[in-house]
Amino acid sequence: MFVTHVATTVATETAGQKFTSLALGLVVFAAVFVGILLIASAFKGRTGERVQAIAFVGPTILFIALALVYPAILTIRRAFYSGKFFDLNLGTPRSRGKFVGLENFEKLWTTPGLPEVLRNTALWVILVPLVSTALGLLYAMLIDRAKGEAVAKALIFLPMAISMVGATLIWKFVYNYNGSTNADGTPGTQIGIINAIWTKLGGAPIDFLGTPFINTLALIVILIWIQAGFAMTVLSAAIKAIPDEILEAARMDGVSGFKMFRFITLPSIRSSVIVVLTTIAIGTLKAFDIVQAASGGKLHDSVLANEFYTRSFVTQEPGLGAAIAIVIFVLVMPIIVFNVIQLRKDA
């Protein structure tokens, strides 16, 4: 009832009315906000500072508690229960959630297909950060102070602007495979550019996205393509921040070429490299879209983030899904700790 009512109101509203109500909403929001701050600023002295601090930080803490901490606690609890529903009390008494201890975590190793997911994820987390950082760094060094630097940078940075799903769709065309054969036994027409070139060279077409292990590598390439631009942008800025005098002093000291990179450039941008590596590693652990858009993880190419979604919402094993979510969280922690320690060392 209510939903249909809202729908009809929205439908009958003109664009102008919508704009007015939007503007009105914003004004009311701003007024409330300003009001709270004004009231807070009315308190003077030490108490005043506290009231102001609460007025500013309070809403954030409230939202974090409601939207992050509370669900996190529920998820952790969920990981120790069986059952098909997120709410542990739903379902018939038989299908209701029961405390099962570490069973869901054991399933990570015992369920067929899941060890493979762990292996795939390890491959992703090792390859994506290392290769995209290396490529980004190489590219940043090559185009530094070269002609047309801005254009060259934009070319590499553009993939960052494409959503992961969009990027996957693009690459699905690149990887496209046609397994049919012509009457004379030659492979059928290939619309995927790699297979098109490969078959022209006389090779048999390769099912990039269908062959286990190869498909994982193929999907890893997509994320590298996206992340290399990020690495390049950050590292290029870091390289430009190295004082000219240091480079000149190094030239006077007889350094050039690779030695310049090894002894001067790389140590100078060390902290940026660490930030890029860890940021990409964390992003990779959470990457779900590429696998989901490519195959849904059905072709032995799944990763933890995708498996978390599948187990939670598709196969209705929310306990196992929660266990996977916790594993992802636990894996991210050491990366963040490493990052913080390294950055503190530099400061």
Q: Which residues of this chain interact with another protein, rule CB under 8 A?
A: 243, 245-246, 248-256, 259, 263-264, 267-268, 270
Least distance in angstroms from the C-beta of 176 to another protein: 48
- The C-alpha torsion from 332 through 132 and 219 to 186, rounded to 10°, is -160
What tokens were used for 194? 């790699």
Which of 120/272 has CB closer to another protein? 272
Which of 158/241 has CB closer to another protein? 241
- Residue in the structure block whose two tokens are 């630097």: 149
CB-based contacts of 325: which residues, under 8 Å, 6+ apart?
75, 79, 308
Which of 141/162 has CB closer to another protein? 141
Half-sphere exposure of 69 (CA within 13 A, CB side): 7
Which of 100/266 has CB closer to another protein? 266
Amino acid (one-letter) located at 333: M
Which of 298/345 has CB closer to another protein? 345
Which of 108/269 has CB closer to another protein? 269
CA distance 305 to 288: 5
CB-based contacts of 316: which residues, under 8 Å, 6+ apart?
84, 85
Least distance in angstroms from the C-beta of 322 to another protein: 44
Q: Are 58 and 40 in contact (CB under 8 A)?
A: no
- Among 335, 290, 327, 294, smallest CA distance to 311 is for 327
What tokens were used for 334? 């050491």
**For residue 160, what is the DSSP state?**
G
Least distance in angstroms from the C-beta of 268 to another protein: 7
Least distance in angstroms from the C-beta of 147 to another protein: 14
CA distance 94 to 160: 48
Least distance in angstroms from the C-beta of 243 to another protein: 7
Q: Are 276 and 235 in contact (CB under 8 A)?
A: yes
Least distance in angstroms from the C-beta of 271 to another protein: 10
Number of other CB atoms surrounding residue 177 within 10 Å: 19
Which of 16/254 has CB closer to another protein? 254
Least distance in angstroms from the C-beta of 139 to another protein: 23
Helix (H, G, I), strand (E, B) or coil at 18: helix
Q: Are 189 and 256 in contact (CB under 8 A)?
A: no
Which of 263/313 has CB closer to another protein? 263
Least distance in angstroms from the C-beta of 334 to another protein: 25
Between the alpha carbon of residue 149 and those of residues 162, 236, 245, 269, the distances in Å are: 21, 11, 22, 20
Which of 15/146 has CB closer to another protein? 146
Least distance in angstroms from the C-beta of 343 to another protein: 15
CA distance 176 to 206: 9
